[in-house]
Amino acid sequence: MSDHPGSNASSAPARPGTPAVRTRRFNISLVWIVPIVAALVGLSMLVHKSLSAGPEISISFQTAEGLEANKTQVKYKNVVIGKVTSIALSKNRSKVIAKVELDQSAESFTAADSMFWVVRPRIGAGGVSGVDTLLSGAFIGADAGQEEKRKKSFVGLETPPPVTYGQKGKRFTLRTDDLGSLDVGSPVYYRRIEVGQVISYKLSENGKGVDVRIFVNAPNDQFVTTDSRFWNASGVDVTLGANGLKVNTESISSILAGGIAFVEPKYSPNAKPADENASYQLFADQDTALAPPDGDPYYMRMRFDQTLRGLALNAPVEFLGVNFGRVVSMDLDYDEQKKTFSTVVGVVIYPARLGKVHQQLEKLSGADESRAGYLIGAFVQHGLRAQARSGNLLTGQLYISMDFIPNAKPVAFDATARPLEIPTVPGGLDKLQEQLQRVVEKISKLPIDAIANNLNGSLTEMQKTLQNVNGKVLPEMRDTLEQTKKTLTSANDSFAEDSPQRLQLGQAMDEVQRTARSVRVLTDFLSRHPEALIRGRLKDNQPDAYKSSTSSSREPESEVQP
């Protein structure tokens, strides 16, 4: 018997009456191989997913329109970087919270300044966007931020941002009194070429204006200089004023969606490129934006004793045809002595607009306000007057003209008064109206009723005369014309080429011609020989001397038939 009975029990002979015990090997069925492999694959995928899983963030929106859990994707430049896992209402039910699971490669989209928005079909100032979502469905657009600070909760944008994906360029701020027709996405033009767009706007801190933020794309942002001028180029600028009719527009898109234009003035060639976030003023139109600097303003008053209907605020003030100011106020005043009303017009002038003339005047006055008053007083003595003239006959709008009037009546001028008051004279149109008024008054004094009665009587008599003419004179005249016609017909028949009357008339005319010739010969003979009236006709035997003396001056004897 062996020391290790268990080691070789199978080889030991069985005892009689004891059943044999057979040891079996451990075997696995092939049926379990497939579940085991599937479990291993699933475990590996789970491990891979847990290792490659990205951050999970939450984005709040005003509505969940177009969003679906486990279906809506998050895209950057149309590349999927995450997926919405769940959608739920916030605690106060004012917003919708979308849980988003980002890919591990999208870690940068957790920056604090990252932006998220829902891409849907939209029609805006920049055109139509999101058309591809009509077939594929809405998705969440994303734009990575630049800050190092990270966070997991974001507020989604209701509209796509105008500048995304790290677009290069510069941002600038424009200050204006009102927004007008501008909107986010309105284009920005440089020399009528679109170079940027409006990205946002808000009220200024004091609430008295609007701050408009624009973005100019690179490399065109270099054309924004320190002296660039911006103006509102929205719609069609139609101005019908004292200066006439003006129509100006930038492009068709600016008519529909508004726009801003800018350019640097020609008188500033040394301007440098502007820094980002620089501030500028947004002017109302191009003429105002590109006008030279106005310099210091001066306030003056003018008193008019005439009606000023058609004169409006901001109407131009001209000096010898040069626009150098505008009307800022109009007040009605009462003169107790004359018992009349007058209109006091306040104007602001900018002498710097006169150019070299302003420099010469500054030399004369020495930039002293009191001396400037005396200088203007000297101009008043030489006929400087203000007139309200018609700038547009179609609209009747007026403007103020300062000019030297010949033979102007002397007026008192206070050079020390503040503000200065420039004397006025009636305008040419007012003088014409006064003349027309005097003509109308003279016409009104005429006895119109008596003239009308006399004219009516004359017309009645004329009507009777015409009836008499039509009833008696015209029929008799018609008979006379018929008789005249018959006479002319007979005369035409008498003077026909083959008529006897014409032959007899021709013979008579020949006889008259011969008779006239004989009388002429006789007259010539008597003028040479008046003695023939006494002596009679000479005989043939008269002396040859007499014949020779007379033969040279008379016609042949045969032609004379005394």
- Please give the share of the chain, as a percent, with pLDDT higher than 90: 25
Do 327 and 279 reside in the same domain of the chain?
no
Average pLDDT over residues 233-256: 59
Residue 241 has pLDDT above 70, yes or no: no
| 303, 419: one domain | yes
Q: What was the pLDDT predicted at 318?
A: 92
Does 547 reside within a domain? yes
Instruction: For residue 40, tell me if it sits in a domain.
Output: no
State whether 238 and 321 are in the same domain. no
List pLDDT tens digits, range 175-209. 999 888 888 888 999 998 999 999 989 999 888 89
| DSSP label at residue 493 | H
409 and 312, same structural domain?
A: yes
pLDDT value at residue 556: 46
Confidence band (pLDDT; 50, 70, 90) for 552? very low
Least confident range of 123-127, 170-174, 381-385, 414-418: 123-127
Distances 120 to 64, 133, 134 between C-alpha atoms, Å: 12, 6, 8
Per-residue pLDDT tens over the stretch 306-363: 888 888 998 999 998 888 899 999 999 988 888 889 999 999 998 888 878 877 777 7
- Which of residues 393, 428, 463 is at a domain's end? 428
What's the DSSP call for residue 239? Answer: E
Q: Same domain, yes or no, for 303 and 416?
A: yes
Alpha-carbon separation of residue 230 from 256, 293, 408 (angstroms): 19, 15, 45
Choosing from 106, 125, 155, the residue where a domain stops is 155
323 and 259 share a domain?
Answer: no
pLDDT of residue 356: 80
Q: Does a structural domain hold residue 443?
A: no
Contacts of residue 65, Cβ cutoff 8 Å, sequence gap at least 6: 118, 120, 138
How far is Cα 264 from Cα 249, in angstroms, rounded to an integer? Answer: 19
Residues 279 and 306 in one domain: no
238 plus 122 within the same structural domain: no
Answer yes or no: do 343 and 269 share one domain.
no
Q: For residue range 87-139, what is the model confidence (pLDDT) as tens digits?
A: 999 989 899 999 999 988 888 899 998 999 998 887 665 556 666 666 778 89
Span 373-383, average pLDDT: 86
What are the residue ranges of helices labelled H in 319-407? 356-365, 369-381
Work out how many domains the chain is built from and give that number. Answer: 4
> Degrees (nearest 5) of the Cα angle 98, 104, 106?
65
Label residues 474-510 b or e (16+ Cβ within 10 Å = b). eeeeeeeeeeeeeeeeeeeeeeeeeeeeeeeeeeeee
* pLDDT of 155 strictly over 90: yes
Determine which of 17-21, 284-288, 291-295 has the lowest per-residue pLDDT on average: 17-21
Distances (CA, A) of 394 to 308, 311, 318, 321, 397: 16, 14, 20, 20, 8
Range of the domain at 257: 169-290
295 with 351: CB under 8 angstroms? yes
How many other C-beta atoms lie within 10 A of the C-beta of residue 94? Answer: 9
